[in-house]
Chain A
C-alpha cells in the first residue's frame, strides 16, 4: 500500500509570487483534503476535493485554489503570496465512504515566503 506523498518538501518564494504544491493520495482513497499548519499550531482546513470537485472549504481566500485529477492526485495553488502564507501545507487522503472521516497525511510541504 502506497502512502500519501507530497512535493516539493521545501519551497522558498517571495511575496506576490505564485506556488503549486502537489499530492498523491494513498492507494484506494478517493478524497483529498488540504490543511495549513502554522508554526506551533494545529492544522487548519483549506478545502477538500472529491470526484475532481471542491467539496467543502475552510476560511481561506480565493487566492487559494486546487485541483483533483482522475487518478485522485491533487494540487494546491496559492496566488499573490503573503508573508503569513509561510507554513507547513499538509495533504490528507481518505475514503469518501469512511464512517469517521479518518485521514491519512503526507509529510507536508514547508513553504517559506520572504
Chain B
C-alpha cells in the first residue's frame, strides 16, 4: 500500500513544453522531498519542502507543498531532454524512521 500516489504515471513531452507532476495523499507529512532517479542509479534529492503552502524553485523546477501538508506538485518549465527520468516524491512523518515513497512519474522529454 502506497501512502503517496503520483500522477501521471508516465509522461512523454516535446522539448520546450511545460509539465506538472502531482503527489497526493490522505496523510499529513512533516516534510516532503522530491527525488529524480535515472536508469541504473539511485534517487537523487532535488528539494525538501516543510511548510504548508511553501514554494521552492530550482532553476526551471518549481515545487509546492500543499497547505494541509498532504500533497505536493512539481512544475517544470521549458522541459529539456536532461530532465528525463523517474520523479519520486517521498514523505516524512513525525516519529517514523523511513521515508514513504510515491509510485513515481516517469518523464521522457523528446528532443
Q: Which residues of A contact B (CB under 8 A)?
A: 4, 33, 35, 40-45, 48, 55-56, 58, 90, 92, 99-108
> Known contacts being A100-B30, A100-B92, A102-B33, is A45 close to B42, with CB within 8 Å?
no
Q: Interface on B for A, CB 8 Å cutoff?
A: 2, 4, 6, 30-31, 33, 35, 40-45, 48, 50, 88, 90, 92, 96-104, 106
Say which residue of B4, B92, B97, B106 sits within 8 Å of A55 (CB atoms).
B97
CA distance A40 to B92 in the complex (A): 22
Of A40, A45, A100, which is in contact with the most chain B CB atoms at under 10 Å from its CB?
A100
* A interface majority secondary structure: loop
Residues from chain B with a CB closer than 8 A to the CB of A105 are 35, 42-44
CB distance from B102 to the nearest CB of A (A): 5
Q: Decide if B42 touches A100 in the complex (CB within 8 Å).
A: no
**Contact with A42, one of B42, B44, B88 (Cβ below 8 angstroms):** B88
Chain B residues lying within 8 Å of A56, measured Cβ to Cβ, are: 96-98
